[in-house]
């Protein structure tokens, strides 16, 4: 427990107090609650990004064997190949995406 001065009336109060006993200025909970919400929001956002990145990664990963199967079956000129080629390009992008996310997660925890 430490003593801090109230930002409203400058009275010496405990940092454990929820509000200043003199002027009822909220001390602890206001800032703590904001911080928790911020962390949860960041986690949720990162989770969504991770899901997108992983979906891209697997789409790209599966495009290669699919491409060779289609080429082997004589569909080499079809639009499927064009589509799968795009997915194949997505693969390195998704790897970079995942790496950036990993750095962001590390950054938030540091």
Which residues are at the interface with Zn ion (CB under 5 A)? Answer: 6, 8-9, 11, 20, 22-23, 25
CA atoms within 13 A on the CB side of 18: 2
Q: How far is the CB of 55 from Zn ion (least distance, A)?
A: 52
Q: 3-class DSSP state for residue 96?
A: helix
- Closest to Zn ion by CB, 11 or 52: 11
Q: How far is the CB of 95 from Zn ion (least distance, A)?
A: 53
Which single residue is written with the structure tokens 């589509």?
Answer: 83
Q: How far is the CB of 16 from Zn ion (least distance, A)?
A: 15
- Measured in residues, the chain has a length of 110
- Closest to Zn ion by CB, 15 or 42: 15
Please count the other Cβ atoms lying within 10 Å of the Cβ belonging to residue 62. Answer: 13
Q: What is the DSSP letter of 19?
A: B
Return the ∠ at Cα 97 (arms to 107 and 44), rounded to 5°: 60
- Closest to Zn ion by CB, 10 or 68: 10
- Closest to Zn ion by CB, 8 or 71: 8
Q: How far is the CB of 31 from Zn ion (least distance, A)?
A: 15
């Amino acid at each position: 427990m430490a003593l801090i001065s109230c930002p409203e009336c400058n009275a010496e109060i405990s940092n454990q107090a929820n509000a200043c006993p003199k002027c009822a200025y909220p001390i602890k909970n206001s800032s703590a609650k904001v911080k928790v919400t911020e962390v949860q929001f960041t986690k949720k956002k990162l989770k969504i990004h991770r899901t997108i990145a992983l979906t891209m990664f697997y789409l790209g990963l599966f495009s290669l064997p699919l491409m060779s199967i289609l080429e082997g079956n004589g569909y080499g000129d079809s639009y499927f190949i064009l589509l799968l080629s795009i997915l194949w390009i997505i693969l390195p992008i998704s790897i970079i995406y995942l790496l950036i996310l990993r750095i962001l997660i590390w950054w938030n925890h540091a």
